[in-house]
Structure 1
Amino acid sequence: MNSKRFALITGCGKGGIGHALALEFKSQGFNVFATLLSHEPREHLTEAEIHAYASDVTNDEDVTTLKEAIESETKSGYTMTAMDTDVREVERMFSVNVFGPMRMVHVFHPLLIRAKGTVVNIGSVGGIVPYVYGSSYNASKAALHHWGNTLRVEMKPFDVKVVNIISGEVGTNILKRDQSSLRKLPENSFYRPLEKDFESHINRIPATTPAAEYARSVVAEVIKANPKAWLWTGARAGEVRFWNAFFPVTFWDWLFTREFGLNRLRQ
């Protein structure tokens, strides 16, 4: 076992970041274990000789069962204004984006320590800047970043590395949930004057980095002997990093007010 390298990747539905990362780790010679939800097909993984498991990271029993299965053989978006947010949606998002990784580390940390492994958190520039209509997603990623920071310090004595990936725009299925649900502003929303703009935002096609290219940059960094604590990668990640470092925090207020036409709400 010491001569093999293993990667466990959660949330590997077809066409997403997890799927791309699983393929890239596999191409680098890793023995890859991937999770997806029970209703999701797994052929895109099994055909690539990737071990696929139905596992919900919001469920303690599922994660424990996953750990036992791996031992025997040797991981969503919500677009809405902050004031109109359905807290139930946010709770589900935090269950996946924050509590899921926490649960995985809690269950798997003995294996991580034994292997002197690496925890990779898929964060986002949304966790850095106040991207309009993304407050809940932004909050979940910011929480993940800061949890990962502390985890990195606490795991260092055990030679376990923790890497936060600050992802820019990546070509995935993240927008499809909002599009397929025909998400709209509530009837009584103070943002109703921007209703058409909101719907256009939901159905936008952003300029993105292909998932496979993104995965190559992530895996290339993660497999280094001393990877960066934070890796900024994906379309616009470099711009966000520069502006966030050298401009006042209120720069984002000006930029997004202008980009989203928020001054029209004053009327």
Structure 2
Amino acid sequence: MASEKKSVLITGCTPGGIGHALALEFHRKGCHVIATARNPDVLKDLAAMGMSAVQLDVTNGDSIRACKAEVANITGGKLDVLVNNAGRTHTIPALDIEIDDVRQTYETNVFGPMFTTKEFAELLIAARGLVVNVSSISSISPYIFGSVYASTKGAINSYSRVLRLELKPFNVRVMVAMAGTVRSQIASHQHRALPSTSLYMPINDFFQRRLVFSQNNATVPTEVFARKLVASALKGEGYLGGLIGGSPDWFWAGGFSTQVWLLSMVPAWVSEWAMGVFFGIASLKRTITQARLKQN
């Protein structure tokens, strides 16, 4: 049944992740949260708190359409906020990618938000709603061994900019959440390993540290990130067409987000040089070169 509360649908609400923390925070703020996951059994704790728990696999068109129908029934045909949070990490050197693995990441990180937004547009328009696309600071910084993940988030940034303009005639807003390092479950799944033939095998120890970098470097607690994002999302339309007081088009939070935001203001070669220094590319190059000389 429809209620007077703001309705918020969040994709990817598995416990321990950003989506779960967002569900708790939106609920704390008095919203009617519709939490989703591929396996709805993981949402029992949220449902027990009074949230709606709905099955949703963002890579499956039938699942998206079924979710939309259920949400329309729950809310009376409106949706105030859609948070495209479901995501898949992908850390591997660009020279070691496997095409089916890359396709699966794009299905989740790019096509999922695109087709979920398309399906829920009718409900968002009815509510003069907001789309929140969760991106990453890696989308604009050369995050070593993150070419696939970063490119999916770069695609989301470009998609969101066009979507924002296309939805203006219907009074629907688009906010991109540029997430820095945030405590989550995204890096806790089974990691990819360097293939035995990888050119980067001499620095495998560095690669292993890189796999969990986001969880060990300036990492912001999930609930802190969620609190900031929800506060920005609930600011509403603001005044003067959103120029004053409304939800921002771009939201930055999480570890290293301020530094990367500043780097985005300088020429690309400067940011690439800075990231090279940060990750110690010169030292990695020496290690790889020495290993190749020994082989020869």
Q: Report the TM-score, using the length of structure 1 for normalisation.
A: 0.93
1:144-223 maps to which residues of 2 (within 5 A)?
144-177=156-189, 180-181=190-191, 183-204=192-213, 205-223=216-234
**Counterparts of 2:126 and 2:168 in 1: how far apart (Å)?**
13
Give the conservation status (yes or no) of the 8 Å contact 2:10–2:34.
yes
**Counterparts of 2:284 and 2:162 in 1: how far apart (Å)?**
36
Give the conservation status (yes or no) of the 8 Å contact 1:42–1:52.
yes
The 3-state SS of whatever aligns with 1:42 is helix
The 3-state SS of whatever aligns with 1:122 is strand
Q: How many residues align?
A: 263
The 3-state SS of whatever aligns with 1:188 is coil
Alpha-carbon RMSD across the aligned residues, in angstroms, is 1.6
Q: 1:88 to 1:14 in 2, by over 3 A?
A: same
AA partner of residue 208 (structure 1): T
Structure 1 match to 2:115 = 103
Structure 2 match to 1:263 = 285
Give the conservation status (yes or no) of the 8 Å contact 1:257–1:263.
no
Structure 2 match to 1:254 = 273
The 3-state SS of whatever aligns with 2:199 is coil
Q: 1:107 to 1:28 in 2, by over 3 A?
A: same
**Counterparts of 1:33 and 1:42 in 2: how far apart (Å)?**
10
1:152-197 Cα distance to aligned partner (Å, 9 max, x none): 00101111010001011100011112xx34x321111111111121
Question: Cα distance, 1:203 vs. partner?
Answer: 4.3
Give the conservation status (yes or no) of the 8 Å contact 1:163–1:231.
yes
Q: Report the TM-score, using the length of structure 2 for normalisation.
A: 0.84
**Counterparts of 1:85 and 1:51 in 2: how far apart (Å)?**
38
**Counterparts of 1:244 and 1:68 in 2: how far apart (Å)?**
40
**Counterparts of 1:73 and 1:203 in 2: how far apart (Å)?**
39
Question: Cα distance, 1:201 vs. partner?
Answer: 2.3
Question: Cα distance, 1:122 vs. partner?
Answer: 0.3
**Which blocks of at least 5 consecutive residues in structure 1 are unaligned?**
none
Structure 2 match to 1:57 = 58
Flag the structure with larger Rg. 2
**Counterparts of 1:46 and 1:135 in 2: how far apart (Å)?**
37
Q: 1:59 to 1:7 in 2, by over 3 A?
A: same
AA partner of residue 42 (structure 1): L
Percent sequence identity over matched residues?
35
Structure 2 match to 1:230 = 250
Corresponding position: 1:239 with 2:248 = no
The 3-state SS of whatever aligns with 1:165 is strand
**Which blocks of at least 5 consecutive residues in structure 2 are unaligned?**
76-85, 237-245, 291-296
- Please identify runs of 4+ aligned residues in structure 1 that moved more than 4 A: none
Structure 2 match to 1:135 = 147
The 3-state SS of whatever aligns with 1:250 is helix
